[in-house]
Structure 1
Amino acid sequence: MSYFFEYRGITKTYPGVKALEDVSFGVRRGAVHGLMGENGAGKSTLIRILSGDQQANAGAILIDGAEQKFASVRDASDNGVMVVHQELQLVPDLTVAENLCLGRFPSRAGFVSRRRMIADVQAVLDDYGINVDAGARVSALPLGARQMVEVAKAAMVKARVIALDEPTSSLSSRESEVLFRMIARLKAQGTVILYVSHRMDEIFQLCDSMTVLRDGRLAAHHDSLEGVTRAQIVSEMVGREISDIWNWRARPLGEERLVVDGLAGAKLSIPGSFTARKGEILGFFGLIGAGRSELMRLIYGADPARTGRVMLEGDSYTATDPRQSIRRGIAYCSEDRKHDGILNGRSVEENITISARRLWSKGGFLRPGREAEVAEEQIRQLRVRTPSRFQDIANLSGGNQQKVILGRWLAEAGLRVLIVDEPTRGIDVGAKSEIYDLLYKLAEQGMTILVVSSELPEVMGICDRVLVMCQHRISAEFTRDTFSEQALLAAALPDGQNHSTAA
């Protein structure tokens, strides 16, 4: 079979770990090729090598029969290769147009033509159905819109090969539909698209062929998905069968622990109220922009509340500072790992212990031995894939970074409420199962867990009760015996006109 794009014998070694070993596969011209595997399987490393950001220790990349050696990201881009990473690479203080034209600004008489730049970019955005203002500053855009801008950037340069790493992880269903239409157009133009995703439905909907990696090696390659089953792919990914990744289990719920009463702020216009019990996993479902994250940030004190209050086991307070919430036993894992979660450039150990250092420091001095002990305990408990606790967290996969953030809060003493916002965004099926199991264990110990998720199967699969938000309002409540995909989705849609409570 003739391939337009090929990896041949790609091997990549980091100090203490072999990320890729002799990986080879090819993709036909104009095909969408799925790339799957557990977190840490080597997917991100493989596309970083393609982007020119990293160099392989051995092996080659071939495009249209010619071997390619990219010395940098710019070199790869100049040769028709673009990579859209899960952790976005946009410059937040520049406009959308400036980001899309970086290194290629239209000029006139030696000066940048801003009017032409904005007009050209806006034409591309409009053509692809991306509802974003080309003159808007990127920092002002929601996460989903930024993701679409990244994809538009790849489409603008008319790339021969485009790699998309978890492109729908921050997108609403409507934005995902726009993305899928873009992919269909690029495919029709003969572009090779490498599609990295943990969402099985997307793989079967979009992809013509697929490769599975496991532990840095080729686990399976399918030139066609005809006859391939979801169970088969999961088994190829994890080396074992996982029949039910949710594995929900009932537990006795205690008394009310958290009462949120009329909480509103600058980014949440309609006051929100709800209660949560000890040992309960309470889900918050809704479309992106529905106000779920904004409500969580008010509870945590990351954003100031204008009205309302929070009661924690009868103690009423208004959080004004995350430190205050942490000391009260409330922790928050943000949906944006890169911006709000990890300490980039610091070790796994530091990322785990940074919040809880006050618990064991003496006289303002740190205790390295105790820090090492806590870090090793969380790495072991959460099965974090890292060569050592000294590894830079930036070198870990997204799923392992998420585990480290969870480990940070589990190192805290007296944690009573854990808020997890999109806890499995960009995480493989095996790691998802591990994180769900951890949440169940914490709930069984009496912890109250608030789960914000855009994935309907996830909230229905792991939660005891679900609150649906629509346009900054809690529009409906569902207990587990009343869960229905149709009903939850109807409550989440602005035109659903469903603002009743079902219990």
Structure 2
Amino acid sequence: MIQIDGLTRAFHGVPAVSGVSFTVGAGEIHGLCGHNGAGKSTVVKMLTGQLTPDSGRIVIGDEPVELRSRQAAQRAGVALVDQELSVVPALTVGENMLLGDIHAPLVNRRRAAYAHCRRVLDDMGLEGIDPDQPLSTLSIGEQQLIEIAKALSQRARLVILDEPTATLTDVESASVFAAIRRVAATGCSIIFVSHRLAEVLELCHSVTVLRDGRKIATTPTADLTVDALIVQMLGEPPFRLAAARKPDHDLAHALRISGLRVPGRLRDFSLTANAGRIYALAGQLGSGASDVLRAVAGLHPTAIGTVELHDRPVPVRDPVAAARHGVAFLSNDRKSEGLFLDRSVGWNLTATRLPFFARAGVLQPRRELVIARALAERSGLPEHRLGDPVAALSGGNQQKAFVGRCLGRDDVFALLLDEPTRGVDIGGRAAIHQLLRRAADAGLVVLFASTELDELLELGDVIVTMRDGQIVNRYDGDVDVDGVLLMRDMTRGIA
């Protein structure tokens, strides 16, 4: 059904995908795996018209196609179910299924359209869901099923599922798997992208592994184990965790987290962390690692549990109170939850410390500039860029500004970071790691979540692996651990 032949794509001269080729048969469920940065997202974007290949070709049926837009991909029969839900809760199920469908008539014929939606839902075994039902009444798992139904309603011949179960429970995932198998039984081809390797082996007929932008192998899943798949993804040389740094401070047990829960996302998480050490939460999307950070920062309104920082209780559902107690949180999305993109670099560095350069409620620009210059020097940012919009900086320098905002403060005792180097190149990543090490050296508790194996092993003094909202294992610095072991914990689950 689908032939991918020699796809290549580079960004600014740096190859992201090089000569990737594989085929997907009619009715086949084909896994696409690889560590973060392996090239999976670039391949998916080329198949869905979001990126144009520099070379190579895509053949659907017997016809080579040029997919230069999402609309062109949809006309060719390619549909994408992204890991982020794109449904609109305020609309009905039927309205969501018709949203964005290029085949929908200019004049909406509701009865005929809803009859088509009803047939698609029935084919997926969703007889209990009414097209007239508000989407907001459905569970997250059911909404994910509607995303798949939406793709099928667009007459798709190839459906690409990008991490469709990342935020689902086991029961909801089982429903999604049953729906995927029904879809494949109709002859539709499926590409299944997932970090959950056990799911890949359970669901898929074969799996293609990418590493560093190149295809490593395409193998029938019957011939694979989780360990063999991990070796294909990571290669032979293991990464080793260096011996733990001993805290230079007398601030033992600075942060205590006990029985932390977020309904449906996190179960009974407990951790005692010392100042002067860096703690890494290792987990894929939906593992609960990000939820730990957001709950400690007061950003989960349904969180339950106990958090203490230097023997002072920190409310778990009040972000303002958490900040006042010395908790600084950096989101994994610096553009929408961190930086003020239209404001200057200096303004972003000083945005959370206005009282430090204000008198009687009036800001003192000269004092603000002094503080901004000091933070820029500490963060490795060029002083002559302080007046530039932060949006004009590279991704690495934007992240430096985000991290730098929390540095050099007497009122910050715990620094929480979600994916601290997401979207940052190698040079910027090394600089940010150095900033975090210096923060730990200054006596802060540094706790970060990451899906990047290299980052976890390079930066973490203590690594806590997570899956399905629970801790799987804990590795201190005096224990040898490598990427294969971490990946097994993060994907196989709790024994």
What's the TM-score once normalised by structure 2's chain length? 0.64
SS of corresponding position for 1:190: coil
**Distance (whole Å) between structure 2 residues aligned to residue 136 and residue 438 of structure 1:** 48
In the alignment, does 2:156 pair up with 1:169?
A: no
The residue number in structure 1 matching 2:407 is none
Q: 1:185 aligns with which of 178, 182, 191?
A: 182
The residue number in structure 1 matching 2:229 is 233
Any conservation in 2 of the 1:32–1:195 contact (CA below 8 Å)?
yes
**Distance (whole Å) between structure 2 residues aligned to residue 219 and residue 303 of structure 1:** 40
**Distance (whole Å) between structure 1 residues aligned to residue 111 and residue 198 of structure 2:** 41
- Describe how 1:192-211 pairs up with structure 2 within 5 A: 192-211=189-208
Any conservation in 1 of the 2:298–2:318 contact (CA below 8 Å)?
yes
SS of corresponding position for 1:218: strand
Question: In structure 2, do the counterparts of structure 1 residues 256 and 165 end up closer, same or farther at CA, with 3 Å as the change threshold?
Answer: same
The residue number in structure 1 matching 2:377 is 370
CA shift for structure 1 position 148: 3.5
SS of corresponding position for 2:396: coil
Question: In structure 2, do the counterparts of structure 1 residues 148 and 48 end up closer, same or farther at CA, with 3 Å as the change threshold?
Answer: same
SS of corresponding position for 2:380: helix
**Distance (whole Å) between structure 2 residues aligned to residue 106 and residue 66 of structure 1:** 21
Q: CA RMSD in A?
A: 5.6
The residue number in structure 1 matching 2:456 is 435
Q: 2:55 aligns with which of 40, 54, 58?
A: 58
In the alignment, does 2:14 pair up with 1:7?
A: no
- Describe how 1:84-103 pairs up with structure 2 within 5 A: 84-91=81-88, 94-103=91-100
- Describe how 1:418-433 pairs up with structure 2 within 5 A: 423=449, 427=451, 431-432=452-453
Any conservation in 2 of the 1:345–1:392 contact (CA below 8 Å)?
no
**Distance (whole Å) between structure 2 residues aligned to residue 143 and residue 338 of structure 1:** 25
CA shift for structure 1 position 110: 4.0
The residue number in structure 2 matching 1:469 is none
In the alignment, does 2:94 pair up with 1:73?
A: no
SS of corresponding position for 2:37: coil
Any conservation in 2 of the 1:268–1:295 contact (CA below 8 Å)?
no
Question: In structure 2, do the counterparts of structure 1 residues 229 and 273 end up closer, same or farther at CA, with 3 Å as the change threshold?
Answer: closer
1:212 maps to amino acid: V
Gaps of 5+ in 1: 376-386, 444-448, 465-486, 490-503
Question: In structure 2, do the counterparts of structure 1 residues 454 and 230 end up closer, same or farther at CA, with 3 Å as the change threshold?
Answer: closer
**Distance (whole Å) between structure 1 residues aligned to residue 96 and residue 51 of structure 2:** 22
- Describe how 1:231-380 pairs up with structure 2 within 5 A: 231-242=227-238, 256-258=253-255, 276-279=271-274, 297=294, 299-302=296-299, 311-316=308-313, 318=315, 322=319, 325-326=322-323, 328-332=325-329, 363-365=367-369, 366-367=372-373, 369-370=376-377, 373=380
The residue number in structure 1 matching 2:472 is 460
- Percentage of identical aligned residues: 28
CA shift for structure 1 position 43: 0.8
SS of corresponding position for 1:461: strand
**Distance (whole Å) between structure 1 residues aligned to residue 474 and residue 142 of structure 2:** 28
Any conservation in 2 of the 1:255–1:277 contact (CA below 8 Å)?
no
2:236 maps to amino acid: R
What's the TM-score once normalised by structure 1's chain length? 0.63
The residue number in structure 2 matching 1:499 is none
Deviations 1:365-405 (A, max 9, x none): 44495376279xxxxxxxxxxx9736999xxxx99628899
CA shift for structure 1 position 173: 0.7
Deviations 1:41-64 (A, max 9, x none): 211011111111111122210011
1:234 maps to amino acid: I
The residue number in structure 1 matching 2:422 is 401
In the alignment, does 2:39 pair up with 1:32?
A: no
CA shift for structure 1 position 312: 2.2
Deviations 1:118-147 (A, max 9, x none): 993697189435987766766787755544
1:237 maps to amino acid: M
The residue number in structure 1 matching 2:484 is none
SS of corresponding position for 2:84: coil
CA shift for structure 1 position 214: 1.8
Q: 1:23 aligns with which of 20, 35, 47?
A: 20
